[in-house]
Amino acid sequence: MRILLLDPFHGAAGDMIVGSLLDLGADRMQVLDAMTSVVGDPGLRKVTRKGIGALLVDSRAPVKPRTLEEVVARVNGAEAPQDTKDMAVRIFQRMATAERRIHGVTGHFHEAGADDAVAEVVGACVALASLHVDGIDVLPVAVGSGSVQTLHGRLPVPVPAVGEIFRDAPLTMVMGGGEGELCTPTGAAILAEFSTLAPQVKGAGRVVGTGYGAGSRDDPDAPNVLRAILMETDPLPGSHDQVDILETNVDDISGEVIAYSIERLMEAGALDVSVIPLLMKKGRPGFLVRVICPSSCTEDLADLMACELGSLGIRWSPSIHRFIFHRSVEKVAVTIKGEERIIDIKCSWRNGELTSLKPEYEQCRAWALALDLPLRQVTRVISEVAWCTLSPKGKER
């Protein structure tokens, strides 16, 4: 596996992320063409930050606040693959969500919606795609200290938008690391979208490349750079992908509504829905509703949860890595009381070995009623026959 480590030990901004990926070996022509199609020809130059050579990216873009709709239109007009533009849109949607939580409405982006941010987000997404990595691990992010002047006035560091982005992200925030704002909303949103692996997942590996992206300031006390490291590791066992997890707590809803909501969520694209009993504040009984879903369904499912369950907030854990083992439905002939039926068996396989199986419930139920036998007895006989029949087949896989 090719694993990308992003090390924002002195913070993160859009230009620093683009610079680090280009310095690491991302396709420079693709990135520059994409950024140019958004705002014009960017500038690149090598600089030194406390003895470390780094690439400084200047989008050369004007500062002009835009609405989310205007930003999305500019992103979709970029000369870039559609999947990278989709990723860029999700990054700006993260920032829009943060703005809504803080101000109630999104309105115009300010610093985060200027044309330089659009160019940097698009450039970062194209750069990442050109590296063809299998996973991204973001190390703890230094956010700075003190306060910073913004169009909303002087705000504490991290600014509220950065705090809200971290709230929904699989990132670790470190207060301090330097004076002033080290992590911008754009930088935080890019890192949040890029992060796909927990540190314990990547394991040991061999470093095959490093890159450094420079910030615009030359900090007198520390190198103002973001480091990118490319590693090669052993493949993870089994197949794997990423899913999102949505959660909410409810304590004022009936069992019938919860059952109905589970059906609606599964029909709307959820991969799984679970409901866990809780003891909530003031001793009230409640439930944790957890939804596992592909990222393409996340927003629609969150809206559905809010609508059906009356939740005022939905916790969102994006891009959670999961292992997927081979699954199949096998047909097995079973005889009970002299009657033979073909039963569907749901099977799970790992490295060619059968690890679990489950007879199709509705078929077991119908046969138990027809034979006037307990369901558990029918299911047990079918399972025993299935294990004996299917286990040798694993050797052939």
Q: Where do runs of H (alpha helix) occur along 26-159?
A: 28-39, 68-76, 82-103, 115-131
Residue pLDDT, tens place only, 358-378? 999 999 999 999 999 999 999
Locate tokens 């190198």: which residue? 223
CATH architecture of 239-324: 2-Layer Sandwich (3.30)
How far apart CA 207 and CA 205 sit, in angstroms, is 7
Q: What pLDDT was estimated at residue 186?
A: 94
Residue pLDDT, tens place only, 306-364? 999 998 889 988 777 777 778 889 999 999 999 999 999 999 888 778 999 999 999 99
Neighbours of 93 (CB within 10 A): 17
Share of the chain above pLDDT 90, in %: 64
Residue pLDDT, tens place only, 211-260? 999 999 998 889 999 999 999 886 555 566 778 899 999 988 888 999 99
Run of H or E including 292: strand 285-293
Q: What pLDDT was estimated at residue 99?
A: 83
Residue pLDDT, tens place only, 141-158? 999 988 877 766 788 889
Average pLDDT, the chain: 89
Res. 89 pLDDT band, cuts 50 70 90: very high
CB of 17 closer than 8 Å to CB of 213 = yes
CATH 3.10.20.300 for domain 326-396, yes or no, is yes
Residue 21 has pLDDT above 80, yes or no: yes
Residue 78 has pLDDT above 90, yes or no: yes
Neighbours of 63 (CB within 10 A): 12
Res. 179 pLDDT band, cuts 50 70 90: confident
How far apart CA 56 and CA 50 sit, in angstroms, is 14
Domain range list for the chain: 2-233, 239-324, 326-396
Residue 106 has pLDDT above 70, yes or no: no
How far apart CA 81 and CA 30 sit, in angstroms, is 10
Neighbours of 313 (CB within 10 A): 11
Q: The tokens of 205 are what?
A: 């590996």
Run of H or E including 279: strand 272-279
Q: The tokens of 246 are what?
A: 């949505």
What residues does 233 pair with on adjacent strands? Answer: 205
Residue type, position 41, single letter = D
Res. 202 pLDDT band, cuts 50 70 90: low
